[in-house]
Structure 1
Amino acid sequence: MDFALEEMALEQDPKLRETLLDLYWTSEVYPEVGQILKELNLLNINLAILSNGTLEMLLSACSSTEINKYFDFIVSVDEVGIFKPDKRVYELVDSKMGYKTNEVLFVSSNAWDIVGATKYGFSTVWVNRGKKPVERLPWKAKYEFSNLTQLIDIFQ
């Protein structure tokens, strides 16, 4: 949260920080999200969330937006006590979900998360809604989309 406030050039105000964290509990999703998740389920694609958020926050956010029904796994970094992009977080995909690295398509809107997941060995999709520049690092997303609608094309 502190990084997000700094990135948006907002003052490090404890009250603002608390208000923004409270909003996370009832986040809204982008318009196409529900339909895309439904289509992926119809294609028998297993879906998971792997997040730096607490499990309680994730379950609340998913429930309030009614997208929880689409996910097979919701996993928090709380299980390893370290944050992404540490490789131990990405290892949870193997240990908790039973998938091998080459069986995963990792989707994120965070460039730093894409770098970590790509470096770990996942095939990645960067959802770059803001048309941000690509990180100047050797690990880049296999795909870059402006929203999730293009994700379906990968599986058809």
Structure 2
Amino acid sequence: MKTPQAIFFDINETLLDINAMKPGLSTVLGNDESIVELWFTQLLHHSLVEIASSQFHDFIDIGAATLIMVAHSRGIVLDGDTAKATIKKHITALPAHADVAPTLTALHSKGIKLVALSNSSEKGLHAQLEFANIKHYFHQILSVETLGIYKPHPQVYHWACRQANVKNEDAIMVAAHGWDVSGAKATGMKTIFVERPGKMMYPLGLSPDHAVKTMTELDTLVMPSYG
């Protein structure tokens, strides 16, 4: 496998620690931090529903809608404005995982094009990267909002590679989500799965080219050659 011309990174969970949202979101969920993960799972699930039903709502709006649903499942009534304000406040204040900045620094210094590719809205994505102090590492920042289709739809990965002016086979997708890895792999991209705590590949999905336990392993995988 050739050295990649570009590396695409998923953002939420892969680079940013969404566990930091638990205290803030739990305030509208009966102070039960344990169901915040259920909320994020529902958020991802319903972004797929958007694809299947040919709809596209803002990622924050889907987050608010699913927060209302999770609250309802616990007998809590949550209004839309409160849900949206709560999501917006906390999803744009996530810290990067400890292994992220050192890895991006190493890859950036070697001249590899680094691209952020997220389901977050364009405005929200920029806010997230700025808060985590990692925005300056990326040569391009791509939100699916521009296209109006969520990952893992194949159009997203083809579009992203065109935006970065690279062929799919010359690019790597890095993600802590099996569905993201499978989606990118299906379009010809190379893939690396990041084994964040509690995360595993979908057993029936397309296998990643590599799996790493920490981001720091990326440096040795992609330089001087990938494979």
TM-score category (smaller protein): 0.7 to 0.9
TM-score, structure 2 as length reference: 0.62
Task: Tell me the amino acid that sits aligned with residue 196 of structure 2.
Answer: R
Structure 2 partner of 1:80 = 147
Are 1:65 and 2:125 matched, yes or no?
Answer: no
* Aligned 8 A contact 1:46 1:71 in 2: yes
For structure 1, the 5+ residue unaligned runs are: none
Alignment of 1:9-48 (within 5 A): 11-12=71-72, 13=78, 15=82, 18-48=85-115
The aligned runs of 1:76-155 (5 Å cut-off) are 76-155=143-222
Change (3 A) 1:17 1:39: same
Identity of aligned pairs, percent? Answer: 23
The CA deviation at 1:26 is: 1.7
Given that 2:152 and 2:184 are in contact with CA atoms closer than 8 Å, whether structure 1 keeps it comes out as yes
The yes-or-no answer on 1:5 pairing with 2:39 is: yes
Q: Deviations over 1:66-105 (max 9, x none)?
A: 1111000000111111111111111122321101011101
Pairwise CA distance, 1:115: 1.0
d(CA) in 2 for partners of 1:6, 1:150: 27
Structure with more contact order per residue of length (Cα contacts < 8 Å, sep ≥ 6): 2
Greater C-alpha radius of gyration: 2
User: What is the CA–CA distance in structure 1 between the aligned matches of 2:148 and 2:37, rounded to whole Å?
Assistant: 19
In structure 2, do the counterparts of structure 1 residues 17 and 126 end up closer, same or farther at CA, with 3 Å as the change threshold? farther
Task: Tell me which amino acid in the other structure corresponds to 1:95.
Answer: R
> Does the 8 A contact of 1:131 with 1:146 survive in 2?
no
For the aligned residues, what is the CA RMSD?
2.3
Aligned partner letter, 1:104: A
Q: CA deviation at 1:155?
A: 2.5
Secondary structure in structure 2 of the residue aligned to 1:148: coil
Which residue identity is paired with 2:187? Answer: Y
**Count of equivalent residues:** 155
